[in-house]
Chains A and B, each alone.
Chain A
Amino acid sequence: MRYLVLLKAVNVPDSVPPPELMAAIATLGQEATGAGVLLDSQGLQPSVSGSRVTLTGGRLSAADGPFTESKELISYAVYDVRAKEDAVEWTTRFLVAHRDLWPGWEGEADIIKVFGPEDYGAGEAG
């Protein structure tokens, strides 16, 4: 089963991310890749680098960032795991690293199921 994980920062300390955190994130990424479950992940730039296209009441508009959002998207990851709990566990490990290595950082990760063959009438292998 594939899950998209979107990591969002709510409170970011006024300091650069500690190198220990970056190293721990790299290690976790390698572990998850080595375990065959992490298919893709990247950091995301602040919304000032992006744009938003909107359709409202039949009217299309495009506007450059930044978007006024209380939570800034900071990275995405795509996991291929046996169950949702596995994606929760890997994601928890990333947040534990943030907690332990960058005091004051607060955020949240949404874990979203991607449609897959298991959703298309194929049997469940258990």
Chain B
Amino acid sequence: MPATEAAVEAVWRIESGRLVGALVRITGDFATAEDLAQDALEAALRQWPRDGVPPNPAGWLMSTARHMAIDRYRRDAVLRRKLPLLAAEVRIEQEWEGPMSIADRTLDSAVDDDLLRLMFIACHPALTVDSRVALTLRTVGGLQTREIARAFLVSETTMGQRIARAKKTLTDQHIALEMPDAGELHSRLADVLAVIYLIFNEGYAATVGDDWTRPALCQEALRLGRILVGLQPDQAEVHGLVALMELQAARLAARFDAEGHPVLLADQQRSRWDRLLIQRGLAALQRAEDLDGGPYTLQAAIAACHVRAQSVDDTDWTRIAALYTVLAFVSPSPVVALNRAIAVGMAEGPERGLELLDRLADEASLERYGQLSAARATFLQALGRIPEALAEFQRAASLADNTDTRTIHLRQAAALTDPDSSETR
């Protein structure tokens, strides 16, 4: 049965992480490993559509990459000098165990280690954050450069250059490809979690462009997080981040109405929230709390308050405010302070909310942050201070950097002046 290109790429997405991870271990060089993996993919894209997917596609890809590796070592004098050739070649021969059938393809901790090491390399602090995102999606997620480029609204050329630069940085700076040691593990793991959450947020609240959310990126991040849970099951914050993403992703489908217009949390049809993801998120949160989680776990606990509530009024705002107070202590930031002010206002009344928001007025980093204006507007509206609320909604709209957020605030502003359209979405 000949394979379509899409079918080849599907196999690739499944195998990419383990393949590149194993090749890094075998070749001792990230860029070489990545090149070999891509060459193997290209070979598959040439052959499989003609001959069909081989019975053991993972074995085929590994075997092809390995032959290419040996060829390159033999041909390339520079590579031989740069890498410990003989050792490498001997290692390649030894590492290779021949084709596996599905029956004897057992779960192997070495494979897990390869994949985990690959995540640490792709999210290495020597790389720019943009590069970490691109390398993670490409090697662990198995995405093509054109797909990553489209998701981040840059040209394929730009994304290709970004990836090439990142690979060069890893080689030039002789970045160690070993697993981080115990002392370093915590901060390196935090780097990986940050990259995954960044990908999620880029999908959840697209910072630029016309789409309010791009669910495919959220789902990509969620899958990466679930992979990491399997690799680091004892780390509380891994569960915490996955819980947070599952619970936020559960609301994705409700964030748009039938016409594709964005819908705020308060007005979402909660029956459209995804019960399977909620259940998974709450289970992950339980594991995170049992392991004594940190900031991600706290944020997941806040998200859990929302999904447990039947409506905005039914929401346990007192608990949310308390969780934000703890979060502001362990992981202080102006945005956390803002969210805490909103939650306290919801729990204790709009006057108290406004009072806390006004304390943030001098916060330089919030000066052009539309959410502060939107929050003030909501409390002002609740207090009947309509002209002030109107001005703040308009200001929030003018500060919004994506079309849908702007639309929401303009609609809220319009609703204040035209009672007939008072239904906010």
Q: How far is B146's CA from A126's CA once the two chains are assembled, in angstroms?
A: 9
Q: Give the total number of A-B pairs whose CB atoms are below 8 A apart.
A: 126
**Is A113 at the interface (CB under 8 A from chain B)?**
no
Chain A residues with CB below 8 A from B105, complex form: 27
Q: Does B51 contact A (CB under 8 A)?
A: no
What mask results when residues 110 to 124 of chain A are scored 1 for a CB within 8 Å of chain B, else 0?
Answer: 000001111111111
Q: Does A6 contact B (CB under 8 A)?
A: no
Query: Is B190 close to A, CB under 8 A?
Result: no
Chain B positions 197 through 215: 1 when the CB is less than 8 Å from some CB of chain A, otherwise 0: 0000001001001111111
Q: Is the interface of B mostly helix, strand, loop or mixed?
A: helix
Bound complex: CA A39 to CA B249 (Å):
14
| A86: chain B residues within 8 A (beta carbon) | 10, 13-14
Interface-central residue, B150, B217, B230, by most chain A CB under 10 Å: B230
Instruction: Determine if B102 and A100 form an interchain contact, defined as CB atoms under 8 angstroms apart.
Output: yes
Determine which of B106, B203, B256 lies in contact with A121 in the assembled complex, contact meaning CB atoms within 8 Å. B256
Binds B, one of A30-38, A42-50, A52-60, A64-72: A30-38
Is A36 a contact of B107 with CB atoms below 8 Å? no
Q: Assess the B14–A89 pair: CB atoms within 8 A.
A: yes
User: Residue B224 at the A interface, CB < 8 A?
Assistant: yes
With A24-B102, A35-B223 in contact, do A126 and B151 touch (Cβ < 8 Å)? Answer: yes
Query: Any chain B CB within 8 A of the CB of A77?
Result: no
B259 at the interface (CB under 8 A from A): yes
B223 & A117 in contact (Cβ 8 Å cutoff) = no
**How many Å lie between the Cα of A76 and that of B225 in the bound state?**
24
Which chain A positions have C-beta within 8 A of B253?
A: 115-117, 119-120
With A and B bound together, what is the CA distance between A124 and B212 in angstroms?
11
The 5 closest A-B pairs by CB, nearest first: A121-B260, A123-B211, A126-B150, A36-B226, A125-B216
Known: A85-B6, A120-B258, A123-B213. 19 other contacts (CB 8 A): A23-B103, A80-B219, A82-B10, A82-B13, A82-B219, A86-B13, A96-B55, A101-B103, A116-B253, A117-B253, A117-B255, A121-B260, A121-B261, A122-B211, A122-B260, A123-B211, A125-B151, A125-B211, A125-B215
